DNA sequence: CCAACTGTACTATTTGTCCTAGTACAGTCG
DNA sequence: CGACTGTACTAGGACAAATAGTACAGTTGG
């Protein structure tokens, strides 16, 4: 479990960690029940402060992505999002709008956006969902 | 030209403004040559500080989205992104990865992601591109 | 020409976040 | 017991965001 971080990025380190973990789960390299590196171990490996890692794990637990067990470790959750359907839809729309708007200003058209998404999805298929 | 802003959001106000303008352009409600509200006018309408608006306009100019003309106003640019092809591709991939990862954790699968994007693109088609 | 508008550039202050550092406590497991 | 887990503080430095106020410079239209 190797997690890299860019200390020069404007994106906060703890947020980078949060996304990396979610990314690993979305790619299937982490599955429900898997244990994350300990706060101190990950901090040492990435040369950051243990508090920063703890902050990331705290955020991940707040999102329902992991559970933290004192004395035992942090483990990937089995369940899916616990948000209301409207809220989930709203957030998805915001993500799509982000992609479309920024993609357009990068000079990409509708077809290229669709292709990029399709390519990404076929390159690393999403793990099967265990819906509640 | 009505631009709303959420002062309670964790996203900086000036970044919200930047995105709103880019969004309006990507939707065709702003086109090349159009004039944006003045710094002071927009600040008054949105109940924010003129410096915050100036900051947003500065960022938009740095991205090549608008030009600022002293005494005259700010105008939407005609040209597209001036980034290298590799960089454009890298940013698009990052955007797509964001959508896929966050979308997965919201409980959406590959088909739903593709459908959401397709729906968004057909609902408000991208304006024609004036490539350089 | 002049008045009223534009953007631009400062300085100063307040507020909040990020990150580091250090210490300590509490639960778990072999 | 001992070595590991997460958790919870405090403190401080660095930085970003936003506000407030003032001033200057270019443009426009009456």
Distance from CA of B23 to the nearest CA of A (A): 6
When divided into structural domains, chain A yields a total of: 2
Closest-lying nucleotide for A9 based on CA to C1': C18
Q: Which domain holds residue B22?
A: 13-76
pLDDT in tens, A2-57: 889 999 999 999 999 999 999 999 999 999 999 999 999 999 999 999 999 999 99
Q: Which nucleotide is nearest to A39 (CA to C1')?
A: D6
For residue range B14-53, what is the model confidence (pLDDT) as tens digits?
999 999 999 999 999 999 999 999 999 999 999 999 999 9
Contact A3, B83 (CB under 8 A): no
Task: Examine residue A5 and state whether it is found in any structural domain, yes or no.
Answer: no
Residues B66, B21 share a domain: yes
Task: Say how far B29 CA is from C7 C1', in Å.
Answer: 24
The verdict on a CB contact (< 8 Å) between B106 and A25 is no
- Phi/psi region, residue B63 (left: phi>0; alpha: psi -120 to 50; beta: rest), is alpha
Residue A129 has pLDDT above 80, yes or no: no
Contacts of A111 in chain B (CB under 8 A): none
The verdict on residue B67 lying in a domain is yes
Same domain for B17 and B61?
yes
Range B65-94 average pLDDT: 94
Tell if the CB–CB gap between B104 and A26 is shorter than 8 Å: yes
In a domain, B90, yes or no: yes
Backbone angles phi, psi at A91, to 5 degrees: -70, -40
Mean of pLDDT values over A65-69: 97
Q: Which residue has the tokens 């357009």?
A: A104
What's the pLDDT at A132? 45
Q: B116: how many CB neighbours lie within 10 A of its CB?
A: 21
Domain co-membership, B24 together with B72: yes
């Amino acid at each position: 479990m190797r997690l890299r971080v860019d200390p020069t990025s404007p994106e906060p380190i703890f947020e980078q960690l949060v996304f990396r973990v979610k990314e690993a789960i979305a790619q299937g390299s982490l599955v429900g029940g898997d244990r994350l590196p300990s706060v101190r171990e990950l901090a040492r490996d990435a040369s950051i402060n243990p508090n920063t890692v703890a902050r990331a794990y705290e955020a991940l637990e707040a999102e329902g992505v992991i559970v933290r067990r004192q004395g035992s470790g942090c483990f990937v959750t089995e369940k899916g999002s616990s948000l209301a359907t409207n809220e989930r839809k709203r957030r998805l729309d915001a993500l799509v709008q982000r992609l479309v708007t920024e993609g357009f200003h990068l000079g990409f058209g509708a077809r290229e956006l669709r292709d990029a998404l399709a390519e990404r999805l076929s390159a690393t298929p999403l793990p099967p969902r265990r819906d509640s």
